[in-house]
Structures are given as structure tokens and as C-alpha cells.
Amino acid sequence: MYGALLLTVVPLVWILAYVALQGFHSISPAFFTQTPPGSPAAPGGGFYNGIVGTFEIVGIAFAVAAPLGVAAAVYLSEYGRGRLGYVVRFVAETLTGVPTIVIGAFVYAFWVVRFGFSGLAGSIALAIVMLPLIVRSSEEALRLVPMTLREASFAMGASERRTVVSVLVPAASSGIVTGLLLAVARAAGETAPLLLTALGNDLFAEYNPTHRMSTLSLQIFNNAISGFREGQARAWAGALTLISIVLVLSVGARVLRSRRDRTLRPG
């Protein structure tokens, strides 16, 4: 069992250390403020446009998926005990298992063929990736709220909407936020669906989400497989940046969760 633990810890440390080493070697202030040079073989430049793209695309995806996901979770935990609730829960589980590349192909088929590659198409794909994760974690958080809180709220004459919005969601907020953060972290690291939707654009910094956009993950992918040392150096700096963003989000989520566990512990 100690051997097994070692086999889990070693890859993690290896990956993090390797990325940190290579990343710090090639990262510079310019990396955060410049776009890549015209050729992957040229040195210098940075992933400014990809950082912008990641924040913008994930931000829009979050703005769509978070309210939708929490509302669906409210349905499942508060009203969804019948057949329909069972079906929706099953569908959420199924969606979690759908490969993200298939989600990318789907968004291509219903959006990109009409409106072209765009950051917005990437946001739609990422929203679909995030949605089932948010639904599941939020439903779990809502179910943990004690029944007595609902009864107390009704006893004071509150409506169902009022009970959910002012009592249940605040009571479950740390669990919900944990789930949201993890979903954002997951989406920020996605590459495959974006290749089929946002496509990437390394010529200049693009802010308009209806145009093709780059993200950190796309730039890492393209530069990593470019075969040029200079491109790979940028990709390592990008990998370090992306992994830092993702780890901050997920460690933040975990801190929040452990704090909640402490407050929920009886006695």
C-alpha cells in the first residue's frame, strides 16, 4: 500500500516539478504582455492573447452554466423525486461521461457551421462541459441543508422561491461555490473542444468573442507540437501559467470545503 501511494505521489510531484522547472526557465514579464511572434521558431513573445481568451471564454461559459446548473440542481433536490427527476439525474450523469471532444463536435455541428469559429462557440462547449459538474455538486450541497431550515422558513410564511433563494442557497453556498470553482478549473484546462470551436488566433490579441480566439490551452498545444525549441519554451511558460491558475482554483475549492466540513460537524 505504501508502494501504491508512492506510485500516486511520484507522478504528481514529477509533473509539477517538471512543469515548474521548464516554465520558470522560459517565463518572463513579456510572456504576460505580448502576443506570440509570427513564426513558432522565433524566440520571445508571449501568450497575452491566450490568457485573455481563457479568461473571456471561461468567463462567458461560467455566466451561462452557473445559474443554469444551480437552478437545475434546485429542481433535482427540491422537486425532483419523481420519474422526471430520476431521468434528469441520469442524463446529468451521462453528460458527465460524454467525451469533451464529442461536445466540441456537437457545438461545431449546431453553432460553428452557421456562425463560424468563435470564442463564443468555445464558451458554449465549455458551458456544456461545466453544466453537469455544477448540477451534481450543487444538488449534493443542497441536500445537505437540514430539513428544519425549510420548515422554519415556511413557518415564517416564506414562499418557495423565497425559501430557496434566501435560505437554502445561502446555507449551501460553500458547497455550491466549491463545485463552481472546480468546474471552472476543469473548463480552464480543456483543449480538445476548443480546437473544434474557438480554433485559436495567434496573430493579434482578440477581445471580441464572436471572432476566433486563442486560449492558453490551445497555445500550449500548438506550440508544444510545433517542433521548435522556441515555441516549446513558450508552451512550458504557458503550461506553468495554466497549471497555476487551475491549482489555485482547486486548492481554493478544497480549503472552502474543509471549512464547510468543520462548520457542519455536529457538536
For residues 69-98, which are near another protein according to CB under 8 A?
Answer: 69, 71-72, 74-81, 84-85, 87-88, 90-95, 97-98
C-beta closer to another protein: residue 52 or 74: 74
Burial class (CB in 10 A: 0-12, 13-18, 19+), 193: buried
Asked if 57 and 209 count as a contact pair (C-beta separation under 8 A), the reply is yes
Query: Binding of another protein at residue 55 (CB under 8 A)?
Result: no
Which residues in the 138-157 window bind another protein by CB under 8 A? 143, 145, 147, 150-151, 154-155, 157
Binding pattern for the stretch 8-37 against another protein, x by CB under 8 A and - elsewhere: xx-xx-xxx-xx--x---------------
Residue 241 half-sphere exposure, CB side, CA atoms within 13 Å?
A: 25
Euclidean distance between the first and final Cα of the chain, in Å?
Answer: 34
Q: Which stretch binds another protein (CB under 8 A): 26-34, 41-49, 170-178, 229-237?
A: 229-237
Helix extents (H) in the chain: 2-26, 29-33, 48-74, 83-97, 100-107, 113-115, 119-143, 147-155, 160-162, 169-171, 173-188, 192-195, 216-224, 229-264
Q: Which of 37, 55, 106, 211 binds another protein (CB under 8 A)?
A: 106
Q: In whole angstroms, what is the distance from residue 137 CA to residue 177 CA? A: 9
Query: Shortest approach of another protein to residue 160 CB, angstroms?
Result: 5
Q: In whole angstroms, what is the distance from residue 231 CA to residue 46 CA? A: 10
Query: Shortest approach of another protein to residue 49 CB, angstroms?
Result: 17
Query: Binding of another protein at residue 199 (CB under 8 A)?
Result: yes
| Count of residues touching another protein (by CB under 8 A) | 99
Query: Binding of another protein at residue 185 (CB under 8 A)?
Result: yes
Which residues in the 207-226 window bind another protein by CB under 8 A? 217, 220-221, 224-225
Q: Which of 28, 33, 159, 210 binds another protein (CB under 8 A)?
A: 159
Q: In whole angstroms, what is the distance from residue 157 CA to residue 64 CA? A: 32
